[in-house]
Amino acid sequence: MTVITNIEDLRVLAQHRVPRMFYDYADSGSWTEGTYRANEADFQTIKLRQRVAVNMENRTTATTMIGQQVAMPVAIAPTGLTGMQHADGEILGALAAKKFGIPFTLSTMSICSIEDVSQGTGGHPFWFQLYWMRDRDFMGRLMDRAKAAGCPALVLTLDLQVLGQRHKDLKNGMTAPPKPTIANIINLMTKPRWCLGMAGTRRRGFGNLIGHAKGVSDMTSLSSWTKEQFDPKLDWNDVEWVKNRWGGKLIVKGIMDAEDARLAAQSGADALVVSNHGGRQLDGAPSSIEALPEIVAEVGSKIEVHMDGGIRSGQDVLKAVALGAKGTYIGRAFLYALGAMGEAGVTKALEIIHKELDITMAFCGHTDINTVDKNILLRKAW
C-alpha cells in the first residue's frame, strides 16, 4: 500500500489510474510548457527565514477570502472536465471542500452541472466560474442558475479569448467529444477502476451546457458551439456588464500585468487572481508567483489580490501569502488528488497542504496566518 505524504505521491497515483488523454489534459501546458514548469519551479527559489525560541502554541490558519471565512487561504480552482478525472468529480471535490471549510469553484466547462453540485452537497454554497461568450443570453442564464444555487461569488476568466495550443491534447485526440482512437481505447482497457466509476454515473457530458445552450443537445453539437463562443472582443466594458448583471461578489481571473491590475481594480471587482491559466495559454509569460509582488504593490490596497499557478504544498501557500496574496487556488494539486483517490484523495491533499502550511508558519515564527508578511522571506522576492 502506497503511503501518501505529499502532492507528488498523489500525482503519480493519478497518472497510473486516470486515462492518458484526461491525465494529460490536466497535466500539460501550452507550446514548450516553459511557463507551466516555471509556475512550480519559481516557488523553490524563494527561501524562508527560520526563527526559534518563539511560542508556537495556539496556531491558526483561518482567515477570509472576499469576506468569507476559510480554514486556510486556499480555494479549489475552477478546472474543466473535472468529472473525467474521476466519476462525479466536481461533486466529490465540492464535498471535500465543504467538510474542510474552504471554497470550491465550479467551472463552466464542468461535467457535473451547477444543479448536480448543489444537490450533491446538500445546497452548500460554492463559487462559479464563467467564461465570456458571444451568447450573452446564455451567460445571463448561467448566472441566474448560479444565483439559484446560492453561489456567493462569480469568477470571471479573462484570459481565454483565444485558446492556447496544447500539444499533448492534439496528440491524444483530446476534443469534445474525445476521439476514440485505437491508442485511447487500449489505454482505457488498462484503467478498470476509472471505467467502472464512469459506468456507474450518468454524468459524462458538459452538464452546464448540454440541454441548456441553444442548439446543444449532445456532445457532437457541443463541439461546433464551443468553437464559436469564445469571444476575442472581450474588453473592460464587458466586465462591467457582468458585474452589473451578476450583482454579487465578482472575482476576475487571469491578471498578469500591473496595468491590467489597475483596470481590474477600477472595474468594481471584489478580487483579482494573478494567474497565467496554469501555463496553458501564453507560453513564455512569467510565473504567477513572479508576477504577484508587482501587482500587490500596484493595487493591493484597492482590491483583494489572489493567485494561482504552481501551488503544490503548504509552503507555496505561505510564500504567496508572504508576498501579499490574500488567497490562493489549487488546480492540478486538486485534480491529481481526485484522480488518485476520489473524495478521499482531495481530503488528503487538503490535509497535506494544511499541515505543511501550519508547520512552516510556526518555523517562521508566526502563529496566525494573518500576521504573515514578506519578513518571513530570506530572499528579497518583492
Residue 100 near residue 71 (C-beta atoms within 8 A): yes
User: How is domain 7-41+65-350 classified at the CATH fold level?
Assistant: TIM Barrel (3.20.20)
Measured distance CA(231)–CA(35) in Å, rounded: 24
277 counts as catalytic:
yes
Please choose, from the candidates 285, 260, 283, the residue with its C-alpha nearest in 3D space to the C-alpha of residue 272. 260
CB-based contacts of 113, cutoff 8 Å, min separation 6? 203, 207, 208
- The model's pLDDT over 329-369, given as tens digits with 9 standing for 90+, comes to 999 999 999 999 999 999 999 999 999 999 999 999 999 99
**pLDDT given at position 190:** 95
* Order of strands across the sheet that contains 271-274: 74-76, 327-330, 304-308, 271-274, 249-255, 153-157, 127-131, 105-106
Grid coordinates standing for 323? 508576498
Other beta carbons less than 10 A from residue 26's beta carbon: 25
Q: How far apart are the first and last CA of the chain?
A: 43
Measured distance CA(35)–CA(244) in Å, rounded: 34
Measured distance CA(30)–CA(171) in Å, rounded: 13
**pLDDT given at position 118:** 98
Alpha-helical runs (H) found in the chain? 7-17, 20-26, 34-41, 89-100, 114-120, 136-148, 167-172, 182-188, 192-199, 219-229, 236-246, 258-266, 288-299, 314-322, 332-363
Amino acid identity of residue 231, one-letter, is D
**pLDDT given at position 175:** 73
**pLDDT given at position 228:** 80
Reported residue count of the chain is 382
**pLDDT given at position 83:** 97
**pLDDT given at position 84:** 95
Amino acid identity of residue 264, one-letter, is A
To the nearest 10 degrees (0 to 180), the angle between helices 314-322 and 288-299 is: 30
CB-based contacts of 36, cutoff 8 Å, min separation 6? 28, 29, 30, 278, 279, 280, 283
- The single residue of 86, 167, 212, 277 carrying the catalytic annotation is 277
Grid coordinates standing for 221? 453539437
In degrees and rounded to multiples of 5, residue 298 shows phi and psi of: -75, -45
Give the three-state DSSP class for 143.
Answer: helix
Please choose, from the candidates 26, 56, 4, 48, the residue with its C-alpha nearest in 3D space to the C-alpha of residue 368. 56
- The model's pLDDT over 279-288, given as tens digits with 9 standing for 90+, comes to 999 999 999 9
To the nearest 10 degrees (0 to 180), the angle between helices 332-363 and 314-322 is: 70
Give the three-state DSSP class for 369.
Answer: helix
Q: Taking the model in full, what pTM does it have?
A: 0.96
DSSP string, 21-49: HHHHHHS--STT-HHHHHHHHGGGG--B-
Other beta carbons less than 10 A from residue 58's beta carbon: 7
Give the three-state DSSP class for 288.
Answer: helix
Other beta carbons less than 10 A from residue 54's beta carbon: 11
Residue 124 near residue 99 (C-beta atoms within 8 A): no
DSSP string, 147-196: HHTT--EEEEE-S-SSPPP-HHHHHHT--SSPP--HHHHHHHTT-HHHHH
* Structural domain spans, the chain: 7-41+65-350
**pLDDT given at position 126:** 98
pLDDT tens, the chain, 382 aa long: 679 999 999 999 999 999 999 999 999 999 999 999 999 999 999 999 999 999 999 999 999 999 999 999 999 999 999 999 999 999 999 999 999 999 999 999 999 999 999 999 999 999 999 999 999 999 999 999 999 999 999 999 999 888 888 888 888 888 766 777 888 889 999 999 999 999 999 999 999 999 898 888 777 777 777 778 888 899 999 999 999 999 999 999 999 999 999 999 999 999 999 999 999 999 999 999 999 999 999 999 999 999 999 999 999 999 999 999 999 999 999 999 999 999 999 999 999 999 999 999 999 999 999 999 999 999 665 5
